[in-house]
Each structure stands twice: as C-alpha cells, then as structure tokens.
Structure 1
C-alpha cells in the first residue's frame, strides 16, 4: 500500500523541492497544506512538477469576524491538552510585535477555532501515514504539529542540529532520543574538541548567514519597485498576517525602521563596550534575538529577557558579574529600544557588551554560561564551562548542563553549576551521537539560496514564480533535493521496522 504523506509547505519552498524528489524515488501519494502569499499561490495553482492528490491553501479558510465557538475551543483544549492562549500570546502577529493591526480577543479565538477545525478535517479526510515539515516557527504550524503528535501521526521534521552545517530528520520539534551510555567511538581531547567546534560551529554558520541576509542592495531596490508599482498587495485582504499593511503604511514604517535602526545602533556603539577586564570572574548570558521561535515557542514563559536578566543578576554569588552580549542579528529587528537598553544597564552587577564582542573569548574566560534555550549552552561544554538552561533542549541531558525548573532555585543552581567540571567523555559521546544520526547539509545556506533566487535576497516574499524559473532552480539543485528525499525515505523505511 502506498504511503500517504502530507507536506506543510511554506515560503521557504525547501519542502516543495523535497516533495518532487520524493515522489520520483518513493511509492507514495502526496498531499499538501500550502502557507504562502497570493502571488506565489499562482505558481502552485498551475505547477505540475509535484502530483499532489489534494492541496489546501492555509489562508483560504479564515473569517476573523466570525463569532468563536467557545465550547468547541474548550473541548479542543481538553482533547489535545494544548494551551491555546499560550500559543496566541506568543504569536508575533497577534500581540506585541504587530505594528499594523490590533487583533481583538474574538478575532484571535475565531482564528484558532478555524485552524483547529481545518486541521482536524484535513487529518480525518486523508489519514496520513507521515507528515513532513520544517521546524514550525509560528503558532499555526506549531499547533498543527502538536495535533499530529497527539494523534500519533509520524512527523518527520527537517531541522538543523546544534552543530553547524548538519541536519537531521527528527520526530520531535526540539528534543532528541538521547541517553548517556558511555559508549564512545571517537574520544577527542578538549583541544581536539575545540578544533572540531571551529569547523562545525553553529555560531560561525550564523555569522555567515548574517552577512548574507537581506544584504543585497540591488535586491532591496528591486523588491521596493515590485512592491510599490507591480504588486496589487492583495494579501492585505486575504491573509490575516498582512492586515493593515497598506503600501503607504509599509513604506512609512520601512523608513521609520531604518531611522530607528541607525539611531539605536549609534547608542549601542557609544554605550556598549566590546571587551571586559580579563581577570574579572563573570557569568555569561548571550541575549536571544527577539520574535524568534527559540523564545516564543520553546520558552514561552521567558520571553521578557529584561526580567530574566534581572533574575539571573540577583541570583549571582557575591564577586561575580553578569556579562551580557547583544545578539548581532537584532539589526533585523531594528535593535532593542533605547529604553530597554537603559533599563538593563541600570542593573548594578551587569556589564552589557556590544554585539560585535568576541563570543569565543567570552566562552573561554567566563565561569558559567546561562541561556534560555540557546546553543551557547552546548558551546560552553566545548570550552569546559558548565551552563544553565531554562527549557529542555536536545543537549540538556549533558551532565554539565543544568536545566532550571524554578526561578526560586536559580541561586542554588548557579552555585552548583559553578562547582561542576565538564568531562570530555560526555561531550564526545553527545557529538558522536549527533554525527551518527545527522547528515551534512547547510539548511540556512540553502534557504538563503531560495531567498536570493526567488525573493530578492529575502526583501520581498510576495513574488510571482514562473514555471520555467522553478524548473531551472530544481534542476540546478537536484543533488541537494535528492539528498533530502533519500534521508526522508531512510527515516520512513526505518519507522516501518520499529
């Protein structure tokens, strides 16, 4: 019997190319939920590269002015054990990050109800064996993921691991089925681990992505021309995520964001140092970029980083400073407000560093790393430093990584962590495990290739895609898509033997 595979395809289009290669190499029926803009939708309405048995365009199913069925939502929460308001509060479109449209309580509940009913209808109609998707960054695809988990549908998620340039096909959005076994196939010294980390550093990969992300000036000006003079901007009527984004308002906000970015960067350059005294004992907290899934979905109760910083600072033993480093990708969010910077800088025992401060030197010289959900916790182990996490992650099972369960325990956990030595054997075992289950693939770099080719470097995602242009891209990157489809097929076949 053919496998029934449901794809969630978003604007990155990675899963679309994978679907084409998968159908060529695996006996299956394909279906898709497609989450894209109106101009890109035209391509999917005419494409023949992938023979989807049925597709659902996500944004076709919403009327935000309908009155929500509260009884249905209550029963849904009980049935799936999903906290809908937690998802809603941490959706950047619904709450504090949306500068264009203010959703009412009824609007939000109505959208959630229509999503829940749509997902249940789709799943009941096709009863898929597998769902293939990338890591869900928004409430609506995360909600779909959670429903599938409860229904015990096998989910296959293409995701980067916390080691650079490697990916896995995982059954879980964040956690890995990792247990300490002391079965070490490759036993590196800490010096060798540092060399390994230099070659496969997620921080290094992030820097490379930062250097390319929305940095094409020609792409930016082409995107502006397309948006102002070619696009009909129909999404403002059809996509609740675009409500309020008239061309005039977007133009005004874009200019305002540019001015804010420059003004705030000037404050950063003037007030945030790039180095600290080498002899100073300190705990290192690298800030997360705002409006990202690492906080909104993975750590929804810790999205206020100013409060987190204050809690860490007041939990430090006397004699230690808390050293903060601004995230370099915050430029994409116009940096933080100057009032936020000033509020943090007023905390007595902190040092707030410039985004260009040397992350590696801070790891080398600190006594402890604290992060909400960041990869710096894994980096710390490479540099023989213990760390504290606020949520579970793929590497939170490492003995030198302390998972904080309650803020009231923070002071005692910090003291315990400061007296913990990192063992090379633990780090080696974890890296060997990741190497066994992962494959070489630069996911961020591949997404950027799509952005450069279809979306003016990422400056405009509502673009028309011609059949010829897509055909050329799929052929040009055929080997990459075949690699991805082969990894999915391996995972599918392995799941049948369990």
Structure 2
C-alpha cells in the first residue's frame, strides 16, 4: 500500500508504535504533526526507529508576534471550512480561566489561529494525504486540523472509546458509527441479564483505574518535582501552551493547588450527602469532570454546569427533586471551588451527592437521568430509565434517549421522557451494533505503561526520551500495536474498496 497517512501526535507519544507498524508492515507513507515539548523533540531529531516522510513540529510554526491578525483571512477560513473559530478558541483550556499562568489577549488568540490555519492548509496542500489518523481530538488545534481535513476531503480515521469499556471504534466522527453493520449475537430477555452484561464494561471500572493508577505514586511525584526544578526548561519561550510557567510560578501554583484540594475535600466530606432516601421521586444529573473535551468541544454551550443545573431545577415537574453528584475523578483537577458547591446546595429542590456514591445506585432509584453527554445516559437504559442529553452521542439512537437543542426545551422534554417505556429489544440492537463495529483494546493499560515508562507516572510531560528505552517499549508492546494497526488497515481497505466502486 502506498496511501499517504498524516498523524497528529501529542506529547503522550503513545501512537508512535502504530506509525511504526503501518510504515514497516503495510508500506504507507507516513507524515506527522508533532505537538511535543522541546526535550521530546530531541528524540525525534535523532531516532531511526520510525520512518516519516516528513515531520512538522507544531510549536516551531506558532510564534508570539505583535503583527495585527489578518481578520479577512480568518473570515475566509470560517466560510471555506464552515468552522466557528471563536467558538473553538473560547473553549480552549489554555485561552480560558483554566489557565492559571498566562492570560491571552484577543489579538494573541487570533494570531495563533491565523498561524495554525496557514500551517494546516500548507501541510494538506503539499502532502495531499489520503487519510488522517488520530486519537479523539482534545484541544482546539488538533480539532481545527481535523475539521479542515474533513472539509478538504481527507478521510479521517479516529480511534475512540465506545461507551462500553474496553471496546474501541474507528470512525470519522466522535458521536456516530460509520458503515453500520450489525450481527444478532445477543438476545437478552431481561434487564437483569443486561445489567450483568454492563458490569463487564461499566464506566465505574475506568473511574477506579484512573484514581488508582494515574499520578498515584508519591515517589514519581517527588522525582518529577526534582527533575523539573533542576533541569533546563525552554518551553515557556517556545510553546504558547507553556507561557508564564516559570519554575517559581509552577511551584507556587502547586502549593496553592494542594492546599485548596485538601480544603475542598474536607468541605465535600462534611457537606455532601452520603445516604439518601428517595422519599420523593427524583431526577439525576451527574456532573462532568472539568476541564474535559466532553464539555469544551462536544458541548461548548453547556460548559457552565451550575447554570445548567439551575435550568434543570426550574424545569422539574412539581413533586420531583434533582439529585446532583460530583464526579469522583474531579479530584484529579483539585475538585471544584467551594463556592460552586455552595451555589448548587443553595438551590431549594437540589441535593448534592458525595462523589463516593456509586452512580448506578442513584440511577436505579431515579425516575430520569439528565446528562450533558456522559456514560450515565447509556447506563440509565440498562436500568430501565429514560435519559436526556445535550449533545449527540453514539447511544443517541436509543429511543429512550431524548436529545435536546436548547434549555428552553427542558420542561417539555422532562415531562415527555418521564412517560417513556424502555424496550429490551432496543438495547439488544445497540449492543449488537457496538459488538459488530468495535474491537477490544486496552488503551488505558498502554497509556499508563507509557506514562510510567517515560513520564514519571504522568507527572512530567517534558522529559528526554532515550532511544534504547523507546525501542524496548515498542518491542514489549509490539503485539498490541500490531492489533491496532490491523484494525486501521481494515478500515482503510474498506474505504478504498468503497471509493473504487
């Protein structure tokens, strides 16, 4: 095969094994945009493990400039590719209140967008790639490149986790399944059987793994801190994502962060509800973790979850309460501010549940689940409950799921959804659809192993990558990368076959 593939590789570098197999075994032409740190860049400049026809170091092309942004050019980009640039930028975590180190001006943001668009157009026009391979986009720049690729007719193949843990799908969209084919291997006859199936793929398993395995070693934390403090760091000068991150600023931020996290945890333990007796029927809203692509990219108009909770609470029928639960992995972001929790608790018909309570226990007792776009919307169906979501998801095809466009629809949507009856046949169809279009892959294990191998347990991204160590990692995980490459090749062959018809 001589098809041209362009990759977007972030600083976690997990995809590098995939690029190696696709080039060596299947003879694709490999091109890559690397969104990596300066120390990681040294590895790519010296390594011969993976052959690329050409590499672009993303941050080498994005500079701080006093030049006025070319608004006419940016407007033409919006029109040409049907992209709302400001919507994408305003929800970028580096340009928003989530960035504690640097406040970007409007002109700085527009200048970055202009440089990105010119870079991306130039790359696509020069390479003329057949395929764009990537993980699910997480930040504005890779999502912008993804949108431009789609508009220019480059076939996107994005690996994404399905809502069934450990099952992955390769698709052009994050919210749909392409080339739908479905077998009929599952014929569950009761909700109990469905729930037993769900237990093997429950999101609770992933939550526990994240809490137990990601940034869990105190030894790695201390080692990362020492390495950060006593090694050279040029990223604040070359990478806009590192602006303002001097060693003193990072150290100060970490001390403040640690104190706030402990203080917030004490507040949570003292004030959020552990035991709940549903004397009245209730509707359940699980908070999404912030900052996360599920909000910032998938649901850009629903990032203010407190305001959304207010709107849901206003829309409840008389006799219903709203139960809100904090996401357990929000601890990885230092929890929310105490003022956020107090605003939720001050609402008269809202109860705030402790993050340690299992979501499934709340779903079982609820009358309806409302979620912006999380797993709970699907899990609700397995317990015979309807759900309302605010953004398209792969499980939106279930009749028990109501997707709304604006909060004005909430009162009627809630009343309508409360009357819905779930059919087991609908869930059987959904499960068979996922089973037929997905493959099992332990991406979490591979990512954690990579972080432990190179990134001191995920605590430090800007690290030197020894070539021999990378070679060893790729050899140890060759079987996984072979499997992943084979799944991508299946999709590529299927697409090329359809294109030739």
* TM-score, scaled relative to structure 1: 0.98
Long gaps (5+) in structure 2: none
Trace 1:196-345 onto structure 2 (pairs within 5 A).
196-230=197-231, 232-345=232-345
- Whether the aligned pair in 1 keeps the contact of 2:131 and 2:154 (CA below 8 Å) is yes
- Whether the aligned pair in 1 keeps the contact of 2:283 and 2:370 (CA below 8 Å) is yes
User: How many Å apart are 1:175 and its aligned residue?
Assistant: 2.2
- Whether the aligned pair in 2 keeps the contact of 1:180 and 1:429 (CA below 8 Å) is no
- Whether the aligned pair in 1 keeps the contact of 2:186 and 2:432 (CA below 8 Å) is yes
1:132 aligns with 2:133: yes
- CA separation in 2, counterparts of 1:81 and 1:102? 28
- Whether the aligned pair in 1 keeps the contact of 2:207 and 2:328 (CA below 8 Å) is no
Partner of residue 469, structure 1: 469
User: How many Å apart are 1:12 and its aligned residue?
Assistant: 2.0
Deviations 1:189-246 (A, max 9, x none): 321111110011123222212211111111101100110012x111010100000000
User: How many Å apart are 1:301 and its aligned residue?
Assistant: 0.2
Partner of residue 361, structure 1: 361
1:74 aligns with 2:70: no
User: How many Å apart are 1:184 and its aligned residue?
Assistant: 4.0
Deviates more, 1:238-247 or 1:277-286: 277-286
Trace 1:428-439 onto structure 2 (pairs within 5 A).
428-439=428-439
Deviations 1:82-112 (A, max 9, x none): 0000011100101111110010010000000
Specify the SS of the correspondent of 1:361.
Answer: helix
Deviations 1:147-203 (A, max 9, x none): 11111211111111110011111121332248799x744211321111110011123
- Whether the aligned pair in 2 keeps the contact of 1:34 and 1:57 (CA below 8 Å) is yes
Specify the SS of the correspondent of 1:335.
Answer: coil
1:487 aligns with 2:499: no
Deviates more, 1:355-364 or 1:308-317: 355-364
Tell me the matched-pair count.
Answer: 496
Deviates more, 1:185-194 or 1:71-80: 185-194
- CA separation in 2, counterparts of 1:296 and 1:202? 20
Deviations 1:32-88 (A, max 9, x none): 101111111111111111110100000001123232111100111111110000011
Specify the SS of the correspondent of 1:137.
Answer: coil
Partner of residue 144, structure 1: 145
Partner of residue 390, structure 2: 390
Specify the SS of the correspondent of 2:15.
Answer: helix
User: How many Å apart are 1:382 and its aligned residue?
Assistant: 0.7
- Whether the aligned pair in 2 keeps the contact of 1:165 and 1:205 (CA below 8 Å) is no
- CA separation in 2, counterparts of 1:419 and 1:95? 40
- Whether the aligned pair in 2 keeps the contact of 1:6 and 1:130 (CA below 8 Å) is yes
- The structure-2 alpha-carbon separation of the partners of 1:349 and 1:179, relative to structure 1 and needing over 3 Å to count, comes to farther
Long gaps (5+) in structure 1: none
- CA separation in 2, counterparts of 1:177 and 1:484? 18
- The structure-2 alpha-carbon separation of the partners of 1:256 and 1:165, relative to structure 1 and needing over 3 Å to count, comes to same
RMSD: 1.3
- CA separation in 1, counterparts of 2:64 and 2:368? 47
- Whether the aligned pair in 2 keeps the contact of 1:6 and 1:30 (CA below 8 Å) is yes
* TM-score, scaled relative to structure 2: 0.97
- CA separation in 1, counterparts of 2:370 and 2:444? 25
Trace 1:93-112 onto structure 2 (pairs within 5 A).
93-112=94-113
Trace 1:24-63 onto structure 2 (pairs within 5 A).
24-63=24-63
- Whether the aligned pair in 2 keeps the contact of 1:9 and 1:35 (CA below 8 Å) is yes
Partner of residue 161, structure 1: 162
- CA separation in 2, counterparts of 1:367 and 1:435? 29
1:418 aligns with 2:413: no
- Whether the aligned pair in 2 keeps the contact of 1:167 and 1:442 (CA below 8 Å) is no
Partner of residue 348, structure 2: 348
User: How many Å apart are 1:444 and its aligned residue?
Assistant: 2.3
Specify the SS of the correspondent of 2:143.
Answer: helix
Deviations 1:106-133 (A, max 9, x none): 0000000000000000000000011110
